[in-house]
Chains A and B, each alone.
Chain A
Amino acid sequence: MSEATRELFLGAVRTLRRSTLWWSVALSGYVVLNLAFWPSFENSDMLKSFDDMGAIMEAFGAKDLASPAGYLDGQVFALMLPILMSAMMIAATTAITSGDEDAGRLELLHALPVSRSALWLTRFAGALVMLAVTTAMTLLMLVISIRVFSLDGVGVVDVAGPLLGSAALAMFHGAVGFAAGAAGLARPRSITTAVAVLVAGYLVALVLPIAKTFESARNWSPWHWALGQAPAVDGVSLVGIGGLVAAATAIVWVGSLAIEHRDIRTA
């Protein structure tokens, strides 16, 4: 890695360090708070009654809610944690790429002896560091919480897999936001594009299959590749996660080509 590339990468990491801290606190807090309620719900008939609602609850990723793994899926992995992590990556990648371009902060950097793609790729790499740190912190809090709040039968692998899937999903949507910005969209539109893909993926993976005719549609959704239907209960597919990471990498690569072929916007 050249000194220029290293400086750009470290600059991106430095820029995101405060966000990394706050997102780590937020994601860890969300996990701990939700798992803290497990002892209260453990023997409750309410969770069993949700299971009786069948397909509707599956649209929210809730399946076998009365079991510790099912509770984890319903409360953490099926919806909220992947959404929060994806939101984090979309916000981070667009802030330091299209957001900085909108604000005119890339003008001088692009005039320095560094290629456009190197500048943008190091910024995406900086966002990946943020994702890695927040994922590691969240995993740590998950592992501690399943012990402290007695989610019996749930092991480290049972939470690490879905968390890895959530991180891959976040990387994918961050890549979409990155590529949209690299193609020339301003930050608000880049965010809108990535969020639209996020929501569409959720609908295709979890809502559309309620109608049996569209059950196979979920195979087209990044959500399904990352998390399957009940990640903590059934486990995740490493092939699916690998495919999603590969797709995200391809999207980032396309974005890095796009930035070489257009004007840099002025503020």
Chain B
Amino acid sequence: MLKSLTRLTTGVLAAAAIGMAGSVSATAADFPTKPVEMTVLFGGTANTIAQVLSELMTDELGNPVVPVSRPGGGGAVGYAFVQGSRPDGYNIVWNSNSINTSHHTGKIPFDYTAFEPVAQVSVETPALAVSSDKGWESLSDMAEAVKAMDGTLKVGISGKGSFTHLTSAALFDWMGIGDKVSYISYGDGKAPVELLAGRIDAAIQWPGQFKSYVDTNKISVLAVTGNERVDILPDVPTASEQGVDINITMWRGLAVPKGTPKEVIAKLESAAKAATESEKFKEASVNLGFTPAYLDASAFGDRIAKDDGFYQELLTSLGMTN
């Protein structure tokens, strides 16, 4: 504990010094010669994973990696900060699909090409839950019941344009019930409780939020939206197992501003790889409900580019593009 305390203090002090002594020149081969600042865009799980990751990367790089929270604007503020910083590898961003959605909804004037990918680190898979009282056991049960019912299905999401909203839209469109759904926005992970209270009919959120309710048989989780089942809810089938051909997961990874030297990216990439594949990271992933999923820089870059097209199309169909 003392060790991490000292590291935290040196890290914070050094991070403060970065701004003042930005002119210190160092060749890419020595990287890093000072602390690396990791901009974190969101609170909650995103922030906690970033803190675990940065501790592990610190052990790899020998200089502190300091997570600095710059929330707000759905990630726009943090992306703009890192995009405008010097491309020397000392400013990295803990990014996610929000780079695609923020651009297409007009929150930031640049897109993913303003950054160089470093590595994908983790994925989180949304899960669809309904109240156990409904008696639905699969996606087809649900689709049939919804098609037959009057009125609309009330679905809890984390806000229009949020990742859970986009996942819901894609899933329900595929199931053919897209026009019978009305979305109810909740903040701060309140959707499971609203489901429990019966104010909404279904909710798409993260598996960790439903875990405790599933254990007590209050909520049924019908599907996860990725290609693989999630460890925290091993009995829940994927949507594609049930014939609904979608594969949507939220990835998180690291990126640096465009123009960062290749050697620097390679060093960050190998530190991220070692951290992601470590035991400690696996342990944290079980507790926090995400999956470590390392991809190297080029594979990660391909994935971001492919996703960009997908989200542009989805957002356009929802009338949310700018």
Whether chains A and B associate is no
Q: Which residues of A contact B (CB under 8 A)?
A: none
